[in-house]
Structure 1
Amino acid sequence: MFPRIKQFITRFDWILFFAVFLLVCFGLIELYSIGLGREGVDLGFFRRQLFFALAGLGIMLIFSLLNYRLFFNYAGYIFLLAAILLVAVLLFGQTIRGTRGWIYIGDFIRFQPVEFVKIALLVFFSRYFYSASVRREPIKHFFISGLSVLFLSGLVMLQPDFGSAVLLFLLWLVFIPVAGFKKIYFFLVVAMLLGVFASGWLFFFQDYQKERILTFLNPEKQAMDQGYNIAQAIIAVGAGRLAGRGIGFGSQSQLKFLPEAQNDFIYAVVSEELGLLGAGLLIFFFAVIFYRLFHYVRRGISNDGLFSLYGLAVLIFLEMFINIGMNIGLLPVIGISLPFVSYGGSALWANMIMIGIAQSIIIRSKTTH
């Protein structure tokens, strides 16, 4: 027993852990600040996220202790469970801000299945591409993997949640080069992404989602209408300058000019209150996470775990990149939260599960740090 505990402690990646922990602290600090509004103190978001964070750390520890191969062995069942959850949310889910994406359990508990679907698809692809003979039968495996992501993303589009559907397709896209497919398949996925966007625009997008994309190109033109969120986020980012206005002194968030400050636009709050230095420090912690995960990928610590570490690193990067791009006007607002920082229990717990699986791979590898 004690040798196992020693192995766990010595092989546990503490640098990765503290980078994640500090990002969570970033989010808690800003949620506390948002609660100190000029119209009165409301720390509801902060208190709930503090609970989510403490529980999330426990969840990460549990998944670190579990053998990651357990999830690989049941990857097909996990994929099936993900599909069932997406069907369930369409049938029984609650609609919030135009998206039927949440399932309520009782009066107080709700969760967003799509956040856990990302994990399911990551585990499924990791297992599938590790065991599949892609080079010998590329067309077969391309279509099997493509149909699987098309099925899940199609269910997500029905909510409609365009941002999450795009993330699922992008996850497939980044697996194509490392799975052994030729370059032509990469471009086929890009073409399919464009097709998904076109079909979404024609059949699934609601008016407000179309307006988000249209106003992205010129938010100033409709700064008091559909482009209001982007315009206010850009103002907040610019107002912070180098050192920021200080915790609790961001006018955009404190005066409630910035909608969804606790979620989609929390990076703008960080930039306004902590300035370029604070925002740069936040990005640095993300960079540490990417470096640690790719460090193990490069060293080839675990053949069957490499795809998971790679996919996890890319998924977190994509969410970070898209969210920050939304906040500074480089990308349209598609509802992607900032990992570990934005408010939301489902997203935080899903990310903690993925970090726990990564730690499990690292701990059980034959190669030391």
Structure 2
Amino acid sequence: MLNRLREHFYKFDWFIIASLVLLIAFGLIEIYSVSLGRGGLDLLNFRKQLFFAGLGLALLIFFSFVDYYFLRSLSPYLFWGGVILLIAVLFFGDTARGTKGWFNLFGFSLQPVEFIKAILIIYLANYFANLATKVKNNRHFITSFIITAIFSGLVMLQPDFGSALILIGIWFALIVAADFNLKYFLIIGLSAIILFTSAWFFFFKTYQKERIINFVSPNVNSLDSGYNISQSVIAIGSGGLTGKGVGFGSQSQLKFLPEAQNDFIFAVIAEELGFLGVILVLFFYGLLFWRVLRAVRSASNDFAIYFLIGAMGLIFIQMFINIGMNLGIMPVVGLPLPFISAGGSSLLSLMIIMGIIQNIIIKNKTSY
């Protein structure tokens, strides 16, 4: 038994584990730092994140033992379970920051859409893997889009535009990996224009429209709806090379920067740890992407390949949009920085995904 456990952990990709631990550590440090700006008394978010970090590592280890072939076989049940969960949250969920997307359980807020991201990756990876030996046609393209649209449409009803965008991004990453004909990407472009126009008139609330307007011209309302972006850019610019030091960032400590623990934690890192701190964070993300890409190249079957690409697409797109939000080059859509921002649902979902990735890597090494 001990030998089997030793062999199991020996086959882990420890570069991935190291990058995850260090990214989570960055988040914990800055969440604690922001707490200092609340008089050192508001440590609840830090304690919650520390708890979720420990639980997340436990889930990673647990799912590293779960055969990913078994998860693949569950994909239809996971899909319908996800649909039921998203419908339930619309009727029974709690509202926070204008979005009805949370369940309140035992003092913790659970955001189902974070787990829907993992479910979508599993379902689409299975769907595209089943098409590996077939000529891909209009029906396959439309079916995969409808699968994604069911999830993203329900998420838009909350409304949570940012998460809906991520779900579509996962689908797009897998469409590219599945090597569909060029004409389908033209269809995607036209569909995106139609969907955005429809969303602008029928789905977006006033504050969401203001976020997009502020993205185009953040200085117009720098003291009103564009305040978040302006303060974020100030925080990033004031950090310099080495930063002001943990707990000494004026924008975050003096509460000029809203949502400093969540959407704008990248700005806190830049202000307190400077350009060097930002480079370190990007290096750890780069290390993670490199190791996952390495796993893609050595994966033994199509489901594993598509799952790894979907997971990498999720993390990269969410990271790119969050950092873009902080820099003022992307609209503010309320997306956390993966592994770093405060938020238990996001962290737990990502750690489950990383556990499945470890299982894929272990299975691949075992097959040699």
Q: Give the TM-score category using the shorter length.
A: over 0.9
Flag structure 1 segments of 5+ consecutive residues without an equivalent.
none
Distance 1:133 1:292 in 2: 24
Contact persistence 1:27–1:340 (CA under 8 A): yes
Deviation at 1:11, TM superposition (A): 1.0
**What secondary structure, in the 3-state scheme, does the structure 2 residue paired with 1:358 have?**
helix
Deviates more, 1:181-190 or 1:202-211: 181-190
**CA-CA distance at 1:136 after TM superposition:** 2.3
Moved more, 34-43 or 84-93: 34-43
Tell me which residue corresponds to 1:338.
337
Residues 230 and 327 of structure 1 are in contact (CA less than 8 Å); yes or no, is this contact kept in structure 2?
A: yes
Matches within 5 A, 1:231-270: 231-270=230-269
Q: How does 1:134-145 map to 2 (within 5 A)?
A: 135-145=134-144
Shift of 1:40: 4.9
- Aligned in 2, Cα 1:40/1:55: closer, same or farther, shift over 3 Å? closer
Q: Which residue of 1 aligns with 2:123?
A: 124
State yes or no: 1:188 paired with 2:187. Answer: yes
Partner of 1:86: 86
| 1:58 alignment counterpart | 58
What's the counterpart of residue 163 of structure 1?
Answer: 162
Pick closer, same or farther for the CA change 1:259–1:177 going to 2, 3 Å: same
Q: Does 1:99 align with 2:76?
A: no
Give the letter for the 1:309 counterpart: L
Q: Once the two structures are superposed, what CA deviation does each residue of 1:266-297 show, in whole Å capped at 9, x if it has no partner?
A: 00000000000001100110000000000111
Q: Distance in 1 between matches of 2:36 and 2:182?
A: 51
Instruction: State the alpha-carbon separation in 2 of the partners of residues 368 and 221 from structure 1.
Output: 59
User: What's 1:305 paired with?
Assistant: 304
SS at the partner of 2:103?
A: strand
Shift of 1:148: 0.7
Secondary structure of the corresponding residue to residue 247 of structure 1:
coil
Partner of 1:220, secondary structure, is coil
Contact persistence 1:39–1:255 (CA under 8 A): no
Aligned pairs (5 A) from 1:1-369:
1-37=1-37, 39-106=39-106, 108-132=107-131, 135-366=134-365
1:165 partner letter: A
Unaligned ranges ≥5, structure 2 = none
* Shift in CA distance, 223/125, structure 1 to aligned 2, threshold 3 Å: same
Q: Is the 8 A contact 2:37 2:252 kept in 1?
A: yes
Q: Distance in 2 between matches of 1:143 and 1:4?
A: 45
**Structure 2 counterpart of 1:34, one-letter code:** V
Contact 2:78 2:119 in 1 (8 A): yes
Counterpart secondary structure, 2:95: strand
SS in 1 for 2:364: coil
Give the aligned residue type for 1:321. Answer: F
Aligned partners of 1:92, 1:200: CA distance in 2, in Å?
Answer: 24
User: In the superposition, relative to structure 1, how do residues 319 and 4 fare at CA in structure 2: closer, same or farther (>3 Å)?
Assistant: same
Once the two structures are TM-superposed, the CA of residue 157 in structure 1 deviates from its matched residue by 0.5
How much has 1:70 moved relative to structure 2? 1.2
SS in 1 for 2:303: coil
Does the 8 Å CA contact 1:134/1:141 hold for their aligned counterparts?
Answer: no
Shift of 1:3: 4.4
Deviates further, 298-307 or 81-90: 298-307
- What's the RMSD between the two structures over aligned residues? 1.5
Q: CA deviation at 1:192?
A: 2.0
Helix, strand or coil for the counterpart of 1:339?
A: coil
**Do 1:320 and 1:339's aligned partners in 2 also have CA atoms closer than 8 Å?**
yes
Q: In structure 2, how many angstroms separate the alpha carbons of the residues matched to 1:170 and 1:84?
A: 22
Whole-angstrom CA distance in 1 between matches of 2:78 and 2:20: 25
Identity %: 48
Residues 134 and 180, structure 1, Cα contact 8 Å, conserved in 2? no
TM-score w.r.t. the length of structure 2 is 0.97
| Cα distance in 1 for residues equivalent to 2:193 and 2:335 | 19
Give the length in aligned residue pairs. Answer: 368
TM-score by length of 1: 0.96
CA distance in 2, matches of 1:85, 1:112: 10
SS of the aligned residue for 1:41 comes to coil
Alpha carbons 2:132, 2:302 under 8 Å: kept? no
Q: What is the CA-CA distance between 1:2 and the residue it aligns to?
A: 4.1
Assess if the C-alpha contact under 8 Å between 1:340 and 1:348 holds in 2. yes
Q: Give the aligned residue type for 1:127.
A: N
